[in-house]
Amino acid sequence: LRRHLCAWGDCVKLRFGNGPEDVPFLWDHMTRYAVSMAKIFHAIRLDNAHSTPLHVSRHVLAEVRRANPHCWVFAELFTGNFQTDLLYQGTLGINALIREAMQTGSVHELAGHLGGTMWGAHPIGEVSMVPTMSRRPIGTRAPARDKEVTMTRSASCALIAASALPLRPRPCPALLFDCTHDNQTPNEKRHPRDALPNAALVAASCASIGSVRGYDELLPFNPSVVTERRQYADINGAKPFSFSLPPVEVQLPTPTNSSTKTYELVWTRPATSSVVARGGWDGWKAEVPLTKQHDGRWLGSVQVSGSAPVQYKFIVDGKWTCDMAQPCADDGHGNVNNVLGGSAAGGGATNADSIAPCPSQGMTGILAVKQVLNAVHERLAREGFMEVSVTHLAGDILAVQRRSAESGRRTCFITRSVYGRDICEDLPWDLGTLEVPGTIAAVHVAATLFVSPEQNYRCGDKTLNGFQSNLKIYSSLGQVAHVWTQGSNTMLKLSHFPPGSVLVFSMSPNEAVRCGVELDMMMTQSVIEEPLQGLSLSDLSYLLFSCEAEESDRSAGDRGAYDIPGFGPLVYCGLFGVCSALDVERSTRGDLAGSPIIQNIKDGDWLLDYLVGRLDNVPALAGVLAWLEKVRSVFKQFPRDLVPFYFDLAVSELCSQAASMLTSQCGPTSSALQRDLAIATGQFWGATPSAPLSWDKAKQEGWQNWGSLCAGLPHFASGFMRNWGRDTFIALRGCLLVTGRFAEARSTLLVYASVVRHGLCPNLLDAANRPRYNARDATWFFLQGIQDYVELSPEGLEFLKTPIQLKWPVKEWDAELAHLEPKTIADLVHLICSAHAKGIKFREWNAGKSIDEHMSDKGFDISVRLDEETGVIYGGNEHNCGTWMDKMGSSDKAGNRGVPATPRDGAAVEIVGLVKSTLRWVSGLDSQAFPHKSVKTSKGTELTYKDWDERLKTNFERLFWIGDDDKSPAATRGIYRDTVGATRGWQDFQLRPNFPIAMSVAPELFTPSYAKRALEIVGDRLVGPLGLCTLDPRDKEYRGDYHNDDDSCDKAVAHGWNYHQGPEWVWPFGYFLKACCYFFDEDHPRFGRRALPALLLAHKRHLATNHWRSLPELTNSKGSVCHHSCPAQAWSIATLLDALACVENGARAP
């Protein structure tokens, strides 16, 4: 049976084999033994659980639970490896682990366990783990109103309603012993006098607790459970001890604070020029002036919260003094002060100075105090004192506070441990002062254990006895500490506290409980929503977001982002700056107590002051400012350790409600992903003085009234690069139309319409001041935007009749088209199509280094032409890049300066799709909405819109489809060409994510079977975690990682030349999803509508766990972070939000 000798001398390990069939007797004997124990006891303990083979324990416990399903299983488990511990816990279903206070090596280690999750603690003021956007307002906290609302109590126990609660890892619960039966006693490991403070700290813990017989009697050793034959001493004299505290009633706040009293301050002694007073009513901060009366007295008054004594001093003619004829008290530091209210007794007098008698007659060791400690521990557990804070006062002196969030009460344990044999009875020179909110309501015990020297110990022949000892129980708190009040807090400094001492007392709640109720009332749904009603998109965006560059622009450089020591600047200056940072901390930390954000909030009100201050001089947000100022005034009455919880409660609630207001225009959101995408759209719309939508309009009406759609944050937040035509109109549908922001969409369309020139929409708008017309695709995304606005807005086709006036008349840039000077939007659409049909050719304004320092001279020549036979639009040259893949080389060292990486000249597939979409739309309009029927080509030929539309449809697949019988050198069959007629001929055949764009706007161009095959190839090769590879990873030109600061000699990557040669861009992903919805049956296992949400799980995670609460411009290969990408990009959010409607609700092809 023996397997091998064990390290312990009194046992061996047994060979169980692989199963009962190997050693039937042993398996049966041990199983019957364990089952018999389970039938007798409520719980069983697995001693040294790690030494029993796991498969044996699993078999035995299965039988135990069959006999007693409610049997609680404790385990002593020390594998030495956390993961192995978890394996045992999960495999065996262990309910609690044995922990032992005597196993800590120092008071600091013990303090860490007491305040940590291992022993069941929640920090006082612990911030809720419920994410910001899972919160629900107080007005919806009744479950009957919303069956989807889950009620939860946070650790700080304000009720929080949530749509979902996060599952958080917690350690296996502890059964905490002061000392166990087979380990060293205080005498053997520390000092006999440590038995009392060690027991008190165990009682202070949030864990279930236990002890071993003999510990309380101060046995110097643990008797052997095998060989010891002597009896324990009789302790029948230990009668049960009980006590109770009066109940605490919390009154709702009233307009007048009944707990605030006005006291008169009187100085009757001589004074020459001034008498003022300072005191604990405000933490000794402000001076209270006294006025001289005709009778020579000086009078003043002060309001004091609560009924506790408050100390103060007079400052007479600049000298600090007190009036000994009035009530005085010692402040605990040898100073005498005058005192208002309560008792004026010196030496630490309080309203709970006396101690209830503690029965000790006939009890040895620490038995008398141990009963008090056990009773306190049991009451704290029963009444929900689950919050803990541990303060190291000095040396081996700890102060542990247990708090009930329900009542606001606190119970404090102060102990002086004895970890060594050398004892110094004096108090440490660096002893700190303990500050506790409220006033002392009851002192449960104050005691010191003295033990006779070890050499005097004699153990009985028949009875086990402990050390001779003296348990000194003090009758007055003043015998061990000085106590005074400061404001609404109690200050305590130990005055006589030898090693082996304990002090346990309970506090009455201070004004924090009442203030918590008041704050709760402020956060009811009706109250918190009122100041948010009627706010515009710009107002809400400023309240919630505003990155540092925007904030600096809006404040004329006076204000940037809030910078947290040890953390860094918040990414937003608005509410989501701190809320998203806290949400990230929630998802990455086991608890938030160590977060620099929480520490900053606890240390001072600077962050709240910042959030309040930035709303000054914003008239529309005056109501929100008033609400926050009221919240701030309430916060100042909370103890600092509770401020983080209430800060998170209030600020997250406001943020959640403002975000809900932001999405309310979108209609109901059907999923958390749709909600988060809709919220993210608000990041990009806003007004900045350096980049209004239109300079001319801003001069007339103020820049605040002319917001624009930012391309991405933070790189495009302000200045002339904030607004781009291509980016704007790719993002328009998702950011402004499906979200119901039609006024903003309309103003955007009209401003861009006013600066159409050369038949092109500008790429870089520059506030309609000095636009740049170097993009061939921006114009067709603009026309798609007009079509989408007409489709989705209430205005509909009437928009086409909207009057416009071009900033640069047609005659200035094409005399042949001067007769088409547009008067309406419909006329403008016709003008653009006519210009393309005729052909466009010009050289950019101010061509040269002033507008593009990298482009070669020929790149400034812009040309577009129509192939009349096929209806396809061609354009560009190998020296410029007129589509969204527009990276221009800039490295002299690598030789790519002035060389486009992806010129995509010729006919780009997405432009062809956009042209087809516009032709299909206008040719289907009646003459009242669109009175134009045809255009003239460069040859002067009349070409109707219907004919043009039909030619494109007839010729598209002949030109673009690469089938199995295609004679081209294409490496991949079953896809569509990226371009036709490119100067770099091989680039026509490269697999890129552009044809899904054409599929989503003009699906009628594609044969369904071909489209499905091509989309499957995209799904197999290009789909990454967040975006689509911009080039097939199998392509020889593929370079998947973009680094704009690459200064190598490698032309392919230097200065980020591979921007569109592999990195995974997010915005095309939305078009891919829409294309899949159009072409695949909804039940297709990979790309059907029901399967597509699986492709969005990474986006959902990213939105919820990213500081920017957004999606990036691009990622590097396999979804890795690209540090040179915008972390928040408008079109990334927009196309996915638009596509999500198709995925979740189904979609019809246009």
Each residue's pLDDT tens digit, 117-154 = 888 888 888 888 889 988 876 654 433 334 444 444 44
Model pLDDT, residue 243: 46
- Which residues contact residue 467 at a Cβ distance below 8 angstroms, ignoring those fewer than 6 apart? 187, 192, 218, 220, 365, 451, 452, 454, 457
CA–CA dist 991, 815 (Å, integer):
41
CA–CA dist 756, 759 (Å, integer):
6
Identity of the amino acid at 24:
P
Picking from 545, 532, 539, the residue whose alpha carbon sits closest to that of residue 683 is 545
280 backbone dihedrals φ, ψ, rounded to 5°: -75, -5
Strand 174-177 relative to strand 231-232, pairing? unpaired
Picking from 225, 202, 469, 522, the residue whose alpha carbon sits closest to that of residue 360 is 469
Q: How many CB atoms lie within 10 A of CB 973?
A: 15
Cβ proximity of 1032 and 990 under 8 Å: yes
Tokens of 901: 């990486």
- Which residues contact residue 728 at a Cβ distance below 8 angstroms, ignoring those fewer than 6 apart? 709, 711, 748, 752, 765, 785, 1130
Check residue 113 and report its DSSP letter. Answer: H
For the CA atoms of 862, 867, 868, 871, the dihedral, rounded to the nearest 10 degrees, stands at -100
> Which positions are catalytic?
47, 50, 182
Model pLDDT, residue 342: 54
Beta bridge partners of 899: none
Tokens of 465: 């006895």
CA–CA dist 786, 630 (Å, integer):
46
Q: What is the pTM (predicted TM-score) of this model? A: 0.84
Picking from 1036, 1006, 1044, the residue whose alpha carbon sits closest to that of residue 1124 is 1044
Buried b vs exposed e over 570-609: b needs ≥16 C-beta within 10 Å?
A: bbbbbbbbbbbbbbbbbeeeebbbebebbbbbbeeeebbe
Model pLDDT, residue 337: 85
Cβ proximity of 354 and 475 under 8 Å: yes
Model pLDDT, residue 328: 78
Model pLDDT, residue 348: 38
Tokens of 137: 């307002």
815 backbone dihedrals φ, ψ, rounded to 5°: -60, -30
Model pLDDT, residue 34: 95
Identity of the amino acid at 931:
P
Identify the three-state secondary structure at position 400: strand
Measure Cα distances from 981 to 177, 779, 870, 906 in Å: 81, 21, 13, 5
Cβ proximity of 845 and 883 under 8 Å: no
Model pLDDT, residue 347: 38
CA–CA dist 1102, 1098 (Å, integer):
6
First to last CA, the chain: 79
Model pLDDT, residue 800: 97
Cβ proximity of 28 and 56 under 8 Å: no
Picking from 1013, 1032, 1011, the residue whose alpha carbon sits closest to that of residue 1021 is 1032
Model pLDDT, residue 362: 57
Tokens of 750: 């009209």
Q: What is the CB-side half-sphere exposure of residue 349 using CA atoms within 13 A?
A: 14
CA–CA dist 624, 646 (Å, integer):
17
Model pLDDT, residue 324: 78
Buried b vs exposed e over 146-166: b needs ≥16 C-beta within 10 Å?
A: eeebbeeebbbbbebbbbeee
CA–CA dist 707, 649 (Å, integer):
31
Q: Among all chains, which residue has been given the structure tokens 């029993």?
A: 52
Model pLDDT, residue 160: 66
Identify the three-state secondary structure at position 1042: coil
Measure Cα distances from 307 to 260, 310, 351, 438, 488 in Å: 8, 9, 10, 10, 9
Buried b vs exposed e over 624-657: b needs ≥16 C-beta within 10 Å?
A: bbebbeebbebbebbbbbbbbbbbbbbbbbbbbb
Identify the three-state secondary structure at position 515: helix
Model pLDDT, residue 17: 92
Model pLDDT, residue 155: 46
Identity of the amino acid at 735:
C
- Which residues contact residue 497 at a Cβ distance below 8 angstroms, ignoring those fewer than 6 apart? 397, 414, 416, 427, 448, 480, 481, 503
Model pLDDT, residue 11: 63
Model pLDDT, residue 405: 82
ω into 762 cis (within 30 of 0): no
CA–CA dist 556, 181 (Å, integer):
71
Enumerate the H helices of 68-150 as residue ranges.
82-92, 107-114
Q: How many CB atoms lie within 10 A of CB 1014?
A: 25
Report residues of the chain scoring pLDDT below 70. 1-12, 137-164, 236-259, 306-308, 330-334, 341-362, 510-512, 667, 1147-1148
Check residue 736 and report its DSSP letter. Answer: I
Measure Cα distances from 764 to 188, 709, 756, 864, 1128 in Å: 80, 12, 12, 19, 19
Model pLDDT, residue 249: 37
Cβ proximity of 804 and 822 under 8 Å: yes
Model pLDDT, residue 384: 87
Check residue 803 and report its DSSP letter. Answer: B
Measure Cα distances from 178 to 210, 292, 412 in Å: 7, 63, 19
Cβ proximity of 512 and 489 under 8 Å: no
Angle at the Cα of 1092 from the Cα atoms of 1090 and 1094, rounded to 5 degrees:
105
Q: How many CB atoms lie within 10 A of CB 534?
A: 9
Tokens of 701: 């009406």
Q: Which helix (H) or strand (E) holds 873?
A: strand 872-875
Identify the three-state secondary structure at position 784: helix
Picking from 1025, 1022, 1052, the residue whose alpha carbon sits closest to that of residue 1036 is 1052
Picking from 378, 372, 397, 399, the residue whose alpha carbon sits closest to that of residue 115 is 399
CA–CA dist 749, 388 (Å, integer):
58
Q: Which helix (H) or strand (E) holds 210?
A: strand 208-210
Model pLDDT, residue 258: 43
